[in-house]
Structure 1
Amino acid sequence: MIGFLLTVGPKEGGIAVQAIQSILRHYHDAKIWVRDDATTDGSYELLKGLADQHPDRIDLARNPQPMGYRGIPVSIFRSYHRIANAPEKLEMLIQLDPDVWLRDGIDELARKKFAEQGPGIVGSYMRSPSQTTRSHSWHRNNMIRDLFPLGWDKATKKFRAGFPFYLPYLSTAMRNGYKPGHHVLGAFYIMSGETLYALEKVGFWDSMPDAGSRIIKEDDPLVSIGAFIVGHKLIELHDEGTPKVWIQVANPLPFSAQEILERNYMAVHPLKYDERALAIRRELAEATAVA
């Protein structure tokens, strides 16, 4: 079985519902896990309405209080722990932000990469979709700061003492080839089932405290450590030449709906909730609708 995970914050309910509907249409046997960040703008109600229509395919959880952008890693780790202990056994888990547009074919792409390179996490790693080299220095520098046992929490501004939760795993990861800060882009990646369950077995998904990391407030580098902890790897998503997906960091997306279709992309990021992005989403939904 293939699994999907979305974490939904304020203003994201509408585009998250579109993403879920696309998954329901294109991935008929998939299970979808959704975590709402205690939203109060109607997003949760939209998600619950859809989940109630598909109780066997959508698992909806809700944070007891808002974690915000800086709390995404905590939400993600809690979700992975939940999924790893679910009765469904997954071949792979596709994590996507609500502003990812998705169509069919991602499972076959990931299956091929896992067959060629072994288990791990497929994502935008060393190469951007435009074929430029991605930098890992910002996350590396944050990790170095995070390893000091005393300092101020980046989100709460409160003083915290103690080593980061991932320190007991770091030496193993580095022996397996991990370089501090190396990561796949958190907006969209595919984790092999072997990696998901191996990390649950060693306690990694249950190791993050409620306050998260003191300095690293992004899920990208924290999840990416996991692949190396269990002897797996990070795998490049963007093929050389013409990539099959386009996952860039931030707006604006340099394509029209027609160009996305002509290039036959399986996934693009970001398409948020601004006027232009919503118009592109409508055109793509009409063009790719299936019975």
Structure 2
Amino acid sequence: MKLLRFGTAGQERPGALDTQGRVRDLSGVVADIDGATLSDEALAKLRAVDLDTLPLAPADVRYGPCVGKVGKFLCIGLNYADHAAESGLPIPEEPVLFTKATSAIVGPNDTVLKPRGSTKLDWEVELGVVIGKTASYVDEADAEAHIAGYCVINDVSERAFQLERGGTWDKGKGCDTFGPIGPWLVTRDEVADPANLKMWLKVNGKTFQDGSTATMIFKPAFIVAYLSRFMTLQPGDVISTGTPPGVGLGQRPEVYLDVGDVMELGIEGLGQQRQVVAQA
């Protein structure tokens, strides 16, 4: 299934794509697409619904973040060897963990705001993992069963805030609108191999990132098992698993986003996003 949320920001309704790619309204079936509806049992009930009997959403409807009420927004840094190299940083021996504020979460095509004082606004197409079952000290072999599905994430970053302002990376990662998620949450049964998906990102029509999840250092199941050693992962938590090379920081000379720039990005089978940069 391709689950989604649609409508005005803050008032999104749950939905799903039918076989013709149209948005069907699930609000008569579930209250939202969130942790409460992401267990295997709840997803099985949704699969049993005849989508063709449900109301259609307007054709031009806004897509919201594909997961609501996100409890934790966790991110893995430097998870592609070639991205670590372009960043001038060593390949990590263990996953590098940081967090994005949940207030950064927006829809896949919403405006991205350039923060006041920003000088190095950057992009990162990433595979998102959405937790469907509580995970605490799980083994890697069992970790996939704790994943509800996958989605596209743009890990928007402000490099000066991240790397030049002291402390951890979080200051450059959690600004408002820095977490576009969606358009869809694709359930794990429809993603044959999450570690072998093409991914890409363009700025103003120019391709900067053209990679694959195949070059991830730490794969999704390992990441879930690893993180579950340090904290309990709960249904609806989102993990952004790192980016391939081609970010603005890695260009020579470096290239950063400015007001009016347009980002387009996507991952094979998981949909596409488009954001325009505006001033905060």
Q: Does the TM-score normalized on the shorter chain lie above 0.5?
A: no
TM-score, with normalisation over the residues of structure 1?
Answer: 0.27
* Higher percent of residues as helix: 1
